[in-house]
Structure 1
Amino acid sequence: MTMMSLTTTSLPYPIQILLVFAISLASITLLRRILSSGLTKTKDQYRKLPPGPPGWPILGNLPELIMSRSRTKYLHQAMKELKTEIACFNFAGVHAIIIHSDEIAREALKERDLDLADRPHVFSMQTIGDKNKSMGNSPYGEQFTKMKRAITTELMSAKTLNMLVASRNIEADNLIAYVHSMYQRSETVDVREFSRVYGYAVTMRLLFGRRHATKDKVYSDDGRLGEEEKKHLESIFGTLNCLPNFSPADYLEKWFGGWNLDGQEEMVRANTNLVRSYSNPIIDERVELWRKIGGKATVEDWIDILITLKDENGKYSITPDEIKAQCVEFCIAAIDNPANNMEWTLAEMLKSPEILTKAMKELDQVVGKDRLVQESDIPNLNYLKACCRETFRIHPSAHYIPTHVARQESTLAGYFIPKGSHIHVGRSTIGRNPKIWKDPLVYRPERHLEGDGISKEVSLVESELRFVSFGTGRRGCVGVKVGTIMMVMLLARFLQGFNWKLHPSFGPLSLEEDDALLMSKPLLLSAEPRLAPNLYPTFQP
């Protein structure tokens, strides 16, 4: 979806912002002088902030951010020039603390976790979370704690994950049924599209107990998405792209909220409403069924669990609006990570065939070629998980983890962190930091193995934050188990079921990335079955 420009002028967006501030600057400055007259500086104003580039009056570093084609490159270059791994940028009065060090990241997300556990109060997060009703977008407090407790103890419990293993198995089978049908038609496999379809289908099964979000049959008989499912998936990624990511509109909201700067407000509203248009009718129908009609014979999926959950007084714990908001959050959190990891892992394996050979050898030794790999095999697929870890390290799905906000004054690396500061921990910069990793740009899964790789089960979680796979701390990812299952099963079934080579239309293999850290060109491959024909299942709707 392209960025929308202001309709009131044909000037480029950066010029619009600067003109608005030029007009407002005098009055704002005068107002601040009036309000601050007679006041003396407090001791906090003398505390030392992390180093940062010089800025403009009031605007701080916002003009440079606006004018930068790549905002993350601007941040990285400024910190490189400052020779620092923690920096403070001033974006129109908001302190943005950027962290590119694993040591400082551990301090922020472990030692100072409680101090830095809030979320930004911006339009996009308020819209996605329906004004703080979901877990991930809520400030730290009662609502956050209630939703997190329900999700961790109920949805992500071993009991629930075991209950839903059949649903996940259906999509693991559909995965190779889909590819096999493409092979039979001599079709090209777009790995990015294919991986997203898998993530989408698994998420729908977990949430709603079915592959699609509409009552009518919208899927094809071979596993590809129908038109309505495509629109739903596109709106999920459109919503994901509206999360805070150094958008100037987020920092200007306190002054220009409602102006739809850069089309930001309209984008998040349109995409979120579209996501809700698919999920809300299902939730309304289920609430009616469970809370008014009498329910079903059994609880079958996450929505059923949330609707039927009661507190110690026998009252329903989660409101329908909270369930709807949490459903949007689940959708935008579950799909991009496995798809991104899969595409980059396959690309790196094709670039270094010896890595692919090792992964295939492990699959043949652990699973064999007489049955399909199952979730129960995951603990023994250490080399495959090491590949996933190495992909997380060098090819994360985002430059920074979701923004944390300081609930109170704190310190990091000896520097003063004011209340309200936005904390951004770098994923790509930490994972590729030469102070942490030898030859950081070399893809080498063996670095994640201990000894022969058998002495200890490999986890996709990096507890020491030498790279970031899943979030940690109070704001950490609650779906680590589900995420690990989805990621490893996606890669394992892909590799076990087929031999892969670049499709001629892709051209020479290039590992160039775009500004969003995706492969600059979607990976296009040709598949050839490597198992007996009877092992390839048929598609299950």
Structure 2
Amino acid sequence: MDDFVFLLLTLSLCVAARFLLPFLSTSRRRKQSAGGDALSLPPGPTYIPLLTPILWLRRSAFEVEPYLRLLRRNHGPVFALRITSLPAVFVADRRLAYEVLIRQGAVFADRPSTNPANRLLSSDHHNISSASYGPKWRLLRRNLTSGVLHSARIRRFAESRRWVLGILLQRLRARADADGGLVVVMESFQHAMFCLLVLMCFGEKLDEKAIGDIESMQRNLLKLVPKLNVFAIFPQITKIVFRNLWNRMIGMRRRQEELFLPLIQARRGLNRSTGQKEEEEEEEERAYSYVDSLLGVRLPEDGGERELDDSEMVSLFSEFMSAGTDTTATALQWIMAHLVRDPRVQQKLFDEIREVTGENHEVSEEDVLQNRLPYLKAVILEGLRRHPPGHFVLPHIAAEDAVLEGHLIPKGAAVNFTVAEMGWDEEEWTAPMEFRPERFLAGGEGEGVDLTGSREIKMMPFGAGRRICPGMALALLHLEYFVGNLVKQFEWKAAVESEEVDLTEMLEFTVVMKHPLRARITPRSTMQTVRV
């Protein structure tokens, strides 16, 4: 039924566009530069009012990506794609990305006002990723980075990570034993990350059912999110046309609140009961969590302050878990896929791990934090360069008219960055589509790469500038810790010896393997088991 209504809507608007076009101005916006020359928008395809938005209504970002590569070839490193009244500008050059995100970072630090679905899921932009650049955003981000993501508190979760590592290894062993050594890894990776992020979020080791309920809800929501882009265009109409989709989204939001609110209330009660103790004494008795930090946040509002309401906290927890689970699990799968494809790299990595940790000890967090495993770090960086979990960062917005590469970027225009393309730049990287961890060792073109982009941008899997991912250090720790121990515990081989692992990509919430990694694992005979 939705498709039939959508077809009628499309045909009607196409007819309307046919008769309106002669009366609509198609001139490009121009502005006088300081020298008197007229600046125009970046080049791009023709925009047809009404018709263009309809044609893009149901396209996903993954369908758009090949088209964007074509526009890059035809129009250069900065081009515009008009889907609504304001252009969406795409920056497909790492040097220009540095200009926008670092040198003009304050101008381009804001976020667009998103569609009604995203506003509902973010409690009207009360989360870090979508909040406008200003006091609210600074407060929420500072609370996260100085709280649960502070380096001292990250270290306090060392035993929690070891607990989750035990869960992961136990699941892999059980599945391998049940299927002649064969495992499909992605589900186990996702479950392990959910166990860890739920604990960091709520400060409790929940039982399997509770974790499973949260995981199922969050995963279903993430699968739905790309479809919600239809509400960005003509929302008053699309909310009616796609009412079933809208109602599904409302139902999932209610389910989030059903699962999260009791955990918030329990933690709020625990904080009140220990409110007279010093903070350090409290943390010795129980794990400090994201909830604990948010209970102390006071938002500036109407000349005063207020606490976060429950809905806003639910949005922040959902953001925290989404950002830390699927992205890390996706990166883990891509890296392990390359280790299966290239036994030489896997053996070299295992030899380094064995030399540093000995025969009978797992990779510890200190091994990672003290940089005792440079080849392991190189493997992680190469995985992130070759397969960034997101091929685009969230759009930025120009807070005022700006100039880039001689083109006008008008106030309010969305600016996007082709993250994957920057890590595949042939001018910067030798054979960029090949997996070569050695490029990040001494003498390689990636030696000492700056992932923050503050000096230059060679790759930006975590974004760059003011809106860089605040969880970058935690993500790198998790990737090194889990990849190191997966290689120390098991030898990884292709499921079928004569078949190469398929690296075809597919877009979900992140860019994942279209055919999930299926591998044959064999326990290393000298390695002791990590216990849950």
- TM-score, shorter chain, exceeding 0.5: yes
Question: Aligned partners of 1:478, 1:165: CA distance in 2, in Å?
Answer: 19
Which residue of 247, 250, 260 corresponds with 1:279?
260
Which residue of 282, 290, 303 corresponds with 1:303?
290
Question: Aligned partners of 1:260, 1:273: CA distance in 2, in Å?
Answer: 22
Question: What corresponds to 2:85 in structure 1?
Answer: 93
8 Å CA contact 1:306–1:323 kept in 2: the answer is no
Question: What corresponds to 1:189 in structure 2?
Answer: 183
The aligned amino acid for 1:240 is L
Cα 1:478/1:70, change in 2 over 3 Å: closer
2:172 aligned with 1:172: no
Question: What corresponds to 2:399 in structure 1?
Answer: 407
2:234 aligned with 1:256: no
Question: What corresponds to 1:494 in structure 2?
Answer: 486
Question: What corresponds to 1:206 in structure 2?
Answer: 200
Question: What corresponds to 1:341 in structure 2?
Answer: 331
Question: Aligned partners of 1:312, 1:398: CA distance in 2, in Å?
Answer: 30
Question: Aligned partners of 2:438, 2:104: CA distance in 1, in Å?
Answer: 32
The aligned amino acid for 2:165 is A
8 Å CA contact 2:84–2:233 kept in 1: the answer is yes
8 Å CA contact 1:100–1:426 kept in 2: the answer is yes
Query: Any stretches of 5+ residues in structure 1 without a counterpart?
Result: 220-225
Cα deviations by residue, 1:370-394 (Å, 9 ceiling, x for unpaired): 2111111112222112111111112
Question: Aligned partners of 2:57, 2:291: CA distance in 1, in Å?
Answer: 45
Deviation of residue 438 (structure 1)? 2.1
Cα deviations by residue, 1:212-266 (Å, 9 ceiling, x for unpaired): 3xxxx4x2xxxxxx5x54443233234334556993432333x536335486544
Question: Aligned partners of 1:187, 1:136: CA distance in 2, in Å?
Answer: 41
Cα 1:531/1:177, change in 2 over 3 Å: farther
8 Å CA contact 2:43–2:79 kept in 1: the answer is yes
Question: What corresponds to 1:526 in structure 2?
Answer: 520
Deviation larger for 377-386 or 72-81: 72-81
Deviation of residue 331 (structure 1)? 1.1
| Matches for 1:11-410 after TM superposition, within 5 Å | 13=6, 15-22=7-14, 25=17, 47-60=39-52, 63=55, 66=58, 71-121=63-113, 122-185=115-178, 186=180, 188-212=182-206, 217=207, 219=208, 226=209, 229-243=211-225, 247-253=229-235, 256=237, 258-259=239-240, 261=242, 265-291=246-272, 294=275, 298-299=282-283, 300-309=287-296, 318-378=308-368, 379-410=371-402
Deviation of residue 137 (structure 1)? 1.6
Cα 1:387/1:284, change in 2 over 3 Å: same
8 Å CA contact 2:31–2:39 kept in 1: the answer is no
Secondary structure of the residue that 1:114 maps to in structure 2? coil
Secondary structure of the residue that 2:96 maps to in structure 1? helix
| TM-score, with length taken from structure 2 | 0.85
Which residue of 463, 479, 493 corresponds with 1:471?
463
Deviation larger for 169-178 or 413-422: 169-178
8 Å CA contact 1:375–1:489 kept in 2: the answer is yes
Question: Aligned partners of 1:388, 1:344: CA distance in 2, in Å?
Answer: 10
Cα 1:446/1:263, change in 2 over 3 Å: farther
Deviation of residue 335 (structure 1)? 0.9
Cα deviations by residue, 1:478-511 (Å, 9 ceiling, x for unpaired): 1112111111111111001111122249954222
**Matched positions, count:** 511
Which residue of 435, 448, 451 corresponds with 1:443?
435
| TM-score, with length taken from structure 1 | 0.83
8 Å CA contact 1:249–1:262 kept in 2: the answer is no
Secondary structure of the residue that 1:298 maps to in structure 2? helix
Question: Aligned partners of 2:379, 2:64: CA distance in 1, in Å?
Answer: 26
Secondary structure of the residue that 2:133 maps to in structure 1? coil
Deviation of residue 63 (structure 1)? 2.1
Question: Aligned partners of 1:433, 1:469: CA distance in 2, in Å?
Answer: 14
Deviation larger for 290-299 or 327-336: 290-299
Question: Aligned partners of 2:319, 2:199: CA distance in 1, in Å?
Answer: 16
Question: Aligned partners of 2:459, 2:160: CA distance in 1, in Å?
Answer: 31
The aligned amino acid for 1:489 is Y
Question: Aligned partners of 2:470, 2:211: CA distance in 1, in Å?
Answer: 26
Question: Aligned partners of 1:417, 1:48: CA distance in 2, in Å?
Answer: 9
The aligned amino acid for 2:400 is Q
Question: Aligned partners of 1:158, 1:184: CA distance in 2, in Å?
Answer: 38
Question: What corresponds to 1:222 in structure 2?
Answer: none
2:518 aligned with 1:536: no
Question: Aligned partners of 2:135, 2:147: CA distance in 1, in Å?
Answer: 18
Deviation larger for 234-243 or 381-390: 234-243
Question: Aligned partners of 1:316, 1:247: CA distance in 2, in Å?
Answer: 32
Deviation of residue 348 (structure 1)? 1.4
Secondary structure of the residue that 1:88 maps to in structure 2? strand
Cα 1:301/1:320, change in 2 over 3 Å: farther
Cα 1:70/1:475, change in 2 over 3 Å: closer
Secondary structure of the residue that 1:52 maps to in structure 2? coil
8 Å CA contact 2:505–2:513 kept in 1: the answer is yes
8 Å CA contact 1:59–1:91 kept in 2: the answer is no
Question: Aligned partners of 1:346, 1:305: CA distance in 2, in Å?
Answer: 35
Secondary structure of the residue that 2:76 maps to in structure 1? coil
